[in-house]
Amino acid sequence: MRKKAIIGFIVLTLFFVGGGIYITMANNRAIHGLEKVVQLTEVAHRRANLRNSIMMVQTDLLLADSPHASDITTVVGHGESMRKASQECYSCHHSEEIFASFDRIKVMMDDYLKKLSRVYTIRANRVRLHNEIEEAYASGQQLYGEVSRLSTISAHKIPMRIEETRAEIGRTKNLVLALVISGPLIALALIFFFIRRFTNSISVLTRATGKIGAGNLDHAISEPLYDEFQELAGAFNQMTASLKRQREQIAEVEDRYRILFESAVDAIFILEAEGEKVGTIVAANQAAATMHGYTVAEMIGMRIQDIDTPESAAKAGPRFQRLLQGERVEARVYHRKKDGTVFPVEFSAGLVEMEGKKYVLAFDRDITLRVRTEEALLRSRQLATVGEMAAGLAHEIKNPLAGIKISMEVLSNELELAPEDRDVFTRIVREIQRIENLLRNLLNYARPPKPNFSRLDLNLQVENGLKNAEMILKSPDYAGQNGKRIEFRRELTQDLPPVQADAAQLQQVLLNLLLNAVEAIAEEGMITLATWLGPDNKVRVKVADTGKGMPAEVSASIFQPFYTTKPKGNGLGLAISKRLVELHGGDIEVISSPGRGTTFIITLPREPEEQSLGELEEAVGA
């Protein structure tokens, strides 16, 4: 296109330059023609002047022998005028033919002048004078005829030259008019031609660019373009094909990472690392949503601290500071599900940068099974130790202790003792009973009886457990609890499906939880008992109090044997309860925080899980 445009403008320029040169040459020819016309007119005038001079001399010659003859001075003057006119004609530029004619005229004029001279010098001889006059006149007529012939030639050339000059001027005028009219038209035609090609090509490229910008990388320029635009269209199609290949490659990579991201077993979070929204969840995979009981859409926009327990959330700030300093943080924390369930999580987090902004990439793994396994292993070791201790205590302590107890009772009944001494014996017997209870609990924890499963109404079991607790609270051992103002609230789901469980063991677990709840309330509070069917088709029982609550480190240890915060506790009540629930194939968890009370949630399958039961029985047998 650029070459054609240059060639077109060169041709147009040459056209105008050639036209200008031709017009200049035509003007020069017209001027030259006009000069010729003027010159011919001057020649004709001079020849006419010569002819008139000859006629004057001829007239003088005819009157030479008459009364009207001119004086010799006049005749000589006319002769000189004729000679000068001849010289003027001879001095003009003529062709060789005309110069030859003027040579003849000069010869004839010289002869004519000689004859005139004889005429005016032989006046005495009348006969000779007459002959000389006739001869001179004849010579003058001949000279006049030759000059007339030349004048006629000049006169004929003048119209011809005028007509040629006029024609030349007309052609020049027409050419100028043609150039004036056709030049702009040709220029406009060239401009229109190139602009049309240019704009059409630009329009095709613009439409293609719009389609590519809209994401249609399958579009290719198929319209025929010209010159450089065809090369540009080819390059454009190559660019489109390259972009399509790159987009397909990027899409493949994105699909690969999306599949890895979505199909990962561990929870993956991308969190804001800076600004006011630090900790906000930018992206989460399905495993993270499933792990926490949310949908992915619900988790986007939440803060990671929202799914942490308060104790774990309190440590989030320092962890983000360490991450911003380039450290990789690994820790074990506790997360809270949407339904409030707390579970242990092991996470690994690092700092990543995307589009100039810093984020935290965190991988979370639910280690509930691992913790349970660790706890089961720990319990197995503890059970082995407790079993050995229980067996030793049973042989080494139980029998002597029974003898001591009987001896104390006999002495107390047979001896006459003062009241204060009898109280001492009574306290000794009571402490011996407490030791017996401790030994019994040890044996129950180490080797709990196998559950005797039957179909039970869970709501009825909860009501029975509540009545048993109320009766126990009225006993002398719990006299200190009677002064508390405690309200028992029931939230029992009707039409709850029955469960397969051991009624006695279930009552033992509920009673233990209820008594713990009563002890956790200082003066006034509420204990809530609730039942419901979970989404996993498992039945749940909740025992919640509004007592003082527990910190996370205490909550994490309350199910361990011999761990207690009570002055008179032995640390086996909750451990035995957890053991009994696990024998039913269920689970028990605690949700507590200082000042917000404590909630125990028991999860029981509608049918006992034989595999889990067998494993637990095997562990107990070990």
Same domain, 460 and 590: yes
* Closest-CA residue to 307 (of 352, 271, 276): 271
CA angle 377, 381, 382 (to 5 degrees): 115
Same domain, 57 and 145: yes
The residue segments making up the domain with residue 253 are: 223-263
Q: Does 212 fall in a domain? A: no
pLDDT tier, 127 (very low <50, low <70, confident <90, very high otherwise)? low
How far apart (Å, rounded) are the C-alpha atoms in residues 580 and 505? 7
Same domain, 484 and 571: yes
Same domain, 172 and 318: no
Q: Which two tokens stand for residue 116?
A: 């005139």
Residue where a domain stops, chosen among 143, 162, 188 = 188
What number is the average pLDDT over the span 276-300? Answer: 89
Same domain, 498 and 602: yes
Q: Does 200 fall in a domain? A: no
Same domain, 371 and 358: no
The sheet that has 485-492: what strands, in order across it?
485-492, 524-533, 538-545, 598-605, 587-592
How far apart (Å, rounded) are the C-alpha atoms in residues 447 and 170? 137
Same domain, 135 and 71: yes
* Closest-CA residue to 130 (of 70, 67, 65): 65
Inter-residue contact 60 to 88 (CB < 8 Å): no
Inter-residue contact 281 to 300 (CB < 8 Å): yes
Report the number of distinct structural domains present in the chain: 5
Q: Does 80 fall in a domain? A: yes
Q: Does 182 fall in a domain? A: yes
Same domain, 464 and 433: no
Same domain, 13 and 88: yes
Same domain, 391 and 469: no
String of DSSP letters for 189-250: HHHHHHHHHHHHHHHHHHHHHHHHHTT-TT----S---HHHHHHHHHHHHHHHHHHHHHHHH
CA angle 488, 489, 495 (to 5 degrees): 130
Q: Does 117 fall in a domain? A: yes
Residue 611 predicted with pLDDT over 50: no
Residue 159 predicted with pLDDT over 50: yes
Q: What is the pLDDT of residues 393-451, one digit of tens each?
A: 655 666 676 777 777 777 777 777 777 777 777 778 777 776 776 666 666 665 666 78
pTM: 0.38
Same domain, 434 and 549: no
Q: Does 248 fall in a domain? A: yes
Residue where a domain stops, chosen among 188, 207, 232 = 188
Q: What is the pLDDT of residues 311-324, one digit of tens each?
A: 888 888 888 888 88
Same domain, 251 and 289: no
